A and B are shown apart, each in its own frame.
Chain A
Amino acid sequence: MAPRKKSKDEPNFTLTRTTSAKVALKNLPAQKRPPVTARLQRLALEGCRAAGYALSGDHPWPHICSIHVGDLRIIVVFPSDNEVAVVSVAAHNDVSDPYRDIAYALNVPVSDAPRTKPACCDAATGVPPVDADLFDRLETAFKRLGN
């Protein structure tokens, strides 16, 4: 049997998410859902090319990408070449700062590097900023905070 031809809309990347992101999406107001859905679908099709910009600063910031959808930030990391993990979906405003939460969890300073907003994919190779350990570091950090 000939291999099934891949549809042009067939996802190339596996999307995963934290429970926190799942809860945030569930609580998202109806009017904010269509643009978020569109961005998530693009993530599944295009990976880092649809992942906005890489954060500026020292490690691990450049391995974390942020997508703006109005005041929402969809924050993603790349555990592998073919997986996009949605870490957080949260507003960035006077009350909520998802970047500060991550900095606090990882015990790293909030980056004060100039915000150059480079593309999420590596400019030379086009590959995503994979960091297999980053998600685990977040997990460990949050566990430590719980002690």
Chain B
Amino acid sequence: MTQGNISKYATAVRPAARETIASRQARKPAELAVAITRDTASALAALEAPEVPERVRGYLQDIVQRASALSQGVSVSAAAKELATTTQTVRTWIERGVLESVPNLTPRQVTVRSLGEVLAAVEVIRATGANQRVLTSVVNALEDRHTRDRLAAKAAEFEEREVFDPFDLESIYA
């Protein structure tokens, strides 16, 4: 690993380590979800760094996987605060599939995993001082990727077609 890469790697991983401590200190479920979102964003950003040692990579991936398994979400208002945007923008991003909402929950909550992913992308864009157009491009790319992931999950469903009898209600709706 070169000196430059070590420096880049350390810069990327340090916030992940710091935020993990923050999430341990959080007490309320909502606070914990926000803290884990920050962990996830930092971990995802760190995973982008070149030459991350395998052991650390595994640790970072564990953070992301734990976020994926979390049933607690982040409220729309808290998500807007994290993203430094409006609640309306968060709702629009949910409807476009950029952010994922926790199923069957009212009021809506955003999944920690998807918010962490968007937060990581948005922070990188803002850190580079890029303009709104670049941010829009990133949001579009995330929307495309989520559409692709959703369709990929359906892939097996499209592989087989079965005969059914439309005159037998059980056959149609079973």
**Chain A interface (Cβ < 8 Å from any Cβ of B):** 9, 11, 14-20, 22-23, 25-26, 28, 33, 36-37, 40-41, 43-44, 85, 87, 94-95, 100-101, 104-105, 135, 138-139, 142-143, 145-146
**Chain B interface (Cβ < 8 Å from any Cβ of A):** 95, 147-148, 151-152, 154-167, 169, 172-174
Please tell me if the beta carbons of A40 and B172 are within 8 angstroms of each other in the complex: yes
Please tell me if the beta carbons of A22 and B154 are within 8 angstroms of each other in the complex: no
Q: Which residues of A contact B151 (CB under 8 A)?
A: 101, 104-105, 142, 145
In the assembled complex, the CB of B144 is this many whole angstroms from the nearest CB of chain A, namely: 8
Where chain B touches its partner, the secondary structure class is: helix
Q: Which of A25, A43, A94, A135 contacts B173 (CB 8 A)?
A: A25
Please tell me if the beta carbons of B174 and A135 are within 8 angstroms of each other in the complex: no
In the bound assembly, the distance between CA atoms of A138 and B160 in angstroms comes to 11
In the assembled complex, the CB of A71 is this many whole angstroms from the nearest CB of chain B, namely: 15
In the bound assembly, the distance between CA atoms of A37 and B162 in angstroms comes to 17
Q: Which residues of B contact A20 (CB under 8 A)?
A: 154, 157-158
In the assembled complex, the CB of A85 is this many whole angstroms from the nearest CB of chain B, namely: 5
In the bound assembly, the distance between CA atoms of A14 and B164 in angstroms comes to 8
Please tell me if the beta carbons of B157 and A44 are within 8 angstroms of each other in the complex: no
In the bound assembly, the distance between CA atoms of A15 and B164 in angstroms comes to 6
In the bound assembly, the distance between CA atoms of A95 and B100 in angstroms comes to 12
Q: Which of B148, B164, B166, B173 contacts A145 (CB 8 A)?
A: B148
Residue of A nearest to B174 (CB): A26
Residue of A nearest to B154 (CB): A20
Q: Which residues of A contact B165 (CB under 8 A)?
A: 11, 15
Q: Which of B147, B154, B161 contacts A142 (CB 8 A)?
A: B154
Q: Which residues of B contact A40 (CB under 8 A)?
A: 166, 172
Residue of A nearest to B96 (CB): A95
In the bound assembly, the distance between CA atoms of A139 and B161 in angstroms comes to 10
Given A101-B147, A138-B158; A16-B173 close (CB under 8 Å) = no
